[in-house]
Amino acid sequence: MEEILLKIKGISKHFGGVYAVNGISLDITSGKIWGLVGPNGSGKSTLFNTVLGIHQADEGNIYFKDRCITNLVPHQIFDLGLVYAFQVPRLFQTLNVLDNMLVAGREHKGDKLLFSLFFRKSWQKKEIELAEKAMEILRLLKLDHLALSPAGELSGGQSKLLELGKGLMASPTLLLLDEPAAGVNPNLGRSMFERIEDLCQTGLSFFIIEHRLELLFDFAHWVYVMDKGKIVLEGKPPEVAEDPSFYHVYLGDE
Ligand SMILES: Nc1ncnc2c1ncn2[C@@H]1O[C@H](COP(=O)(O)OP(=O)(O)O)[C@@H](O)[C@H]1O
Ligand SMILES: [Mg+2]
């Protein structure tokens, strides 16, 4: 069953006189990869930041699973399962991969010191469950063989996957990724998108800003094209790629 996860209705965000996002409406449903592309400065990151509650929208409303989240703050939105995977971009380089996952798992659960002192039994049980969950995610990302290696020894692509894994510790239903393949070599970029595709099989959805169009277009189910704060084109990747206005957006009037 296809469920509308995220509904953006008439969202605008301006900075002084600049309309970074100018009346955007779109829907994101479950179990799919959704792309967002457009030239530099077209407002992609601003749209994400507005959805995540980092910026307050000037106009419009945002709904996540039918709940209005327009005026919620970032941690409330995170707790509902709408997660920006690279929110905490730094890994603890000297901690091993598994411990990095466990730290992420504790971050958002209000890990109370008193609780750990007085309810040791249930606290230990929770720790074991957390470790099992972390290993399951590492297996999905094909990082499980590196669980005990220091995060500092990972390649660029593996570090990105680990950051994605940390986001998954929050049990999200929708992940927003801003340029996941940036700075990653072509093969690793592709395997990263393959892992993302695997995760979609479990019902997760991804909304991804990506400049590496050849990658995104191979994996996305639907692509939104932004220009000057508006959605100017949308469709299945081959349709978008063949649309003359797509090149116009990137190349201007030339
Ligand atoms: N915090 C901010 N303050 C002022 N202007 C901003 C801010 N963030 C973005 N902008 C402006 O909004 C426009 C869209 O930027 P951005 O959303 O980063 O585009 P993109 O991610 O598509 O490259 C740009 O003109 C940018 O300069
Ligand atoms: Mg950006």
* Per-residue model confidence as pLDDT tens digits over 164-176: 999 999 899 999 9
Domain CATH code at residue 137: 3.40.50.300
The number of folded domains in the chain is: 1
Integer Cα distance of 87 and 164 in angstroms: 10
Integer Cα distance of 189 and 78 in angstroms: 26
Ligand 1 touching residue 229 (CB < 6 A)? no
User: In which domain, by residue range, is 215 found?
Assistant: 4-251
Burial of 43 by CB count in 10 Å (0-12 exposed, 13-18 middle, 19+ buried)? buried
Work out the average pLDDT over 184-213: 90
Bridge partners, residue 7, by sequence = 27, 63
Q: What is the pLDDT of residue 116?
A: 64
Nearest CA to ligand 1 atom 27: 41
Q: What is the pLDDT of residue 254?
A: 52
Burial of 132 by CB count in 10 Å (0-12 exposed, 13-18 middle, 19+ buried)? exposed
Which strands sit side by side in the sheet containing 230-235, from one edge to the other?
Answer: 82-84, 174-178, 205-209, 33-37, 222-227, 230-235
Ligand 1 touching residue 158 (CB < 6 A)? no
Ligand 1 touching residue 18 (CB < 6 A)? yes
Q: What is the pLDDT of residue 2?
A: 76
Q: What is the pLDDT of residue 91?
A: 83
**Shortest-distance atom of ligand 1 to CA 48:** 17
